[in-house]
Homo-oligomer: A and B are copies of this chain.
Amino acid sequence: MSAADRASVSSELPGPFTERLKQVLGAGNVLTDPADCWPYGQDNSRKHTLPDAVAFATTHAQVQEAVRLCNQYSVPLLARGRGTGTTGSAIPVRGGLVLSLERMDRIIEMDAANRVMRVEPGAINQAIQDQAAQHGFFWPPDPTSSAYCTVGGNIALNAAGPRALKYGSTRENVLGLVAVTGKGDEIHTGTYTTKGVVGYDLTRLLIGSEGTLAIVTQATLKLTPLPEARRTLQAVYDSVRAAATAVSRLMAQPVTPCALEFMDAAAIEMIRNYSQAELPQDAGALLMIELDGPEAAMDAAVTKISAAARGEGLLNLAAAKTKDEATALWATRKALSPALRNIAPNKLNEDVVVPVSRIPELIDGLEKLSREYGIPIVNFGHAGNGNIHVNLLYDTQDPQQERNALPCVSKVFDLVLALGGTLSGEHGIGVAKRDYINRAIDPVTLDLMRAIKRQFDPRGILNPDKIFPPP
């Protein structure tokens, strides 16, 4: 976003606002020097706009006071975790206050008997996993950024990852929330129990709402027992079509893998040098298939999964022989996204979703668009959910590629929607996709969402201009 764009929507902070904020949060927890504020104006979308102030809250009461002040002085407010999102949800496009919750990171309670953990929003995903693992549990959402993303961010974007295939996304793994609405009201949603039908489901309404409705100050997480055993398979195919057809076969039989990851030939080339596993030279696509469950079931499950993986175009099917080999396979998979970022800093990574049976058509369509627009496209992702990360690696030094990039993205979305899919599986809309959302959601339904937003945030201070195109 250019400086001119920003200036047109931003406003200076009103005089007494900063002083009052310092009273509430402590002077040392409020930054106003642009140099200090700068790092809080970006996220992993590589967009940037400078906030007018950054503040650090450590308690629910402070969050509530900060929201009330922003209301009183009409200051835009963006609650921020660690800025690992990729669609610009954490970019303060109108300036205003960025309220960082990174220091509000306590694990409040680990309740093994009820498979529940209560946490503050700044808790790191990995810290939650570590704590849960000590009691034999895990929390299913596992984005690539799990080592440094926060649970608040996971909730804001309904984060997922490979394991969502078997265990669901954030939406299926949160029981309840405490939050502060855009009005400054404290609300309590959901239950402490795994079932509950008492009023409207505000928990799921907040999950995936990208900080536009309320700021979560506490979350009750549903934990899942760690599986006893795990097996990792790698299947290499001569073509994307062969691999995509295998995905359909794998999802049509009863053993649901805990991960079913896909890479196309371009992605394979990128990791060839890192991988310890055999990667045939003529590999057109690769599937990583992970199974988990009781040890006693593993051999039979591997047999069934292997049978489904076999078929036309299979070049090689191998099980990781050691835990180290499996870990190495995952390391290469998880290195893909950052590696692509290094090669193409301005890559456009669209995490589109299509019904699993339509993946071959998606890949065919993407190849055509890549040729038509002259832009290399690398595809990988969570094939079992039909959630493919489509990476447009355009060269910013090439004026034609730069000109073609956004029109090509636009065609990618048209393709996905025509196949019965949608714009985002786990990254959300943010600013990056907000101008496309009216292709996925009809105007009446969008208006209803906006009307709901006004009930939570009548003055529109919370993360303005996200999800919905500005009127």
Cross-interface CB contact of A197 among B111, B172, B251, B424, cutoff 8 Å: B424
CB closest chain-B residue, reference A421: B193
Cross-interface CB contact of A198 among B194, B200, B440, cutoff 8 Å: B440
Which stretch, A48-56, A180-188, A263-271, touches the partner chain B?
A180-188
A445-B196 contact given A113-B356, A253-B225, A301-B294, CB 8 Å threshold: no
Give the chain B neighbours of A158 by CB distance below 8 A: 197, 201
A194-B385 contact given A202-B448, A225-B254, CB 8 Å threshold: yes
Which residues of A, 181-232, contact B by the 8 Å Cβ criterion?
Answer: 181, 185-189, 191-205, 207-209, 213, 225-228
CB closest chain-B residue, reference A176: B422
Which residues of A, 116-135, contact B by the 8 Å Cβ criterion?
Answer: 116
The residue among A198, A202, A428 with the most chain B CB atoms within 10 A of its own CB is A198
Q: Is A248 an interface residue (CB 8 A)?
A: yes
Is there an interface contact between B449 and A202, defined as CB atoms closer than 8 Å?
Answer: yes
Q: What 0/1 pattern do residues 421 to 461 of A give for CB contact below 8 A with B? A: 11111111100000001001110111011011101100000
CB closest chain-B residue, reference A169: B195
Give the chain B neighbours of A253 by CB distance below 8 A: 225
CB closest chain-B residue, reference A420: B192
Give the chain B neighbours of A164 by CB distance below 8 A: 194-195
Tell me, rounded to whole Å, the shortest Cβ–Cβ distance linking A386 to chain B: 5
Number of interface residues of A (CB under 8 A): 95
Is there an interface contact between B186 and A444, defined as CB atoms closer than 8 Å?
Answer: yes
Tell me, rounded to whole Å, the shortest Cβ–Cβ distance linking A307 to chain B: 14
Q: Is A333 an interface residue (CB 8 A)?
A: no
Cα-based distance from A449 to B189 in the complex (angstroms):
10
Cross-interface CB contact of A423 among B186, B198, B255, B423, cutoff 8 Å: B198
Give the chain B neighbours of A112 by CB distance below 8 A: 252
Give the chain B neighbours of A188 by CB distance below 8 A: 441-442, 445
Cα-based distance from A203 to B225 in the complex (angstroms):
28
CB closest chain-B residue, reference A194: B385
Give the chain B neighbours of A254 by CB distance below 8 A: 136, 225-228, 294
Tell me, rounded to whole Å, the shortest Cβ–Cβ distance linking A457 to chain B: 11
Tell me, rounded to whole Å, the shortest Cβ–Cβ distance linking A140 to chain B: 12
Q: Is A171 an interface residue (CB 8 A)?
A: yes
Residue contacts A-B, CB under 8 angstroms, 6 given: A115-B356, A187-B442, A193-B421, A195-B386, A200-B208, A297-B300
- Given A187-B444, A202-B449, 8 more contacts at CB 8 Å? A164-B194, A172-B172, A185-B444, A193-B353, A193-B355, A198-B424, A228-B254, A297-B297
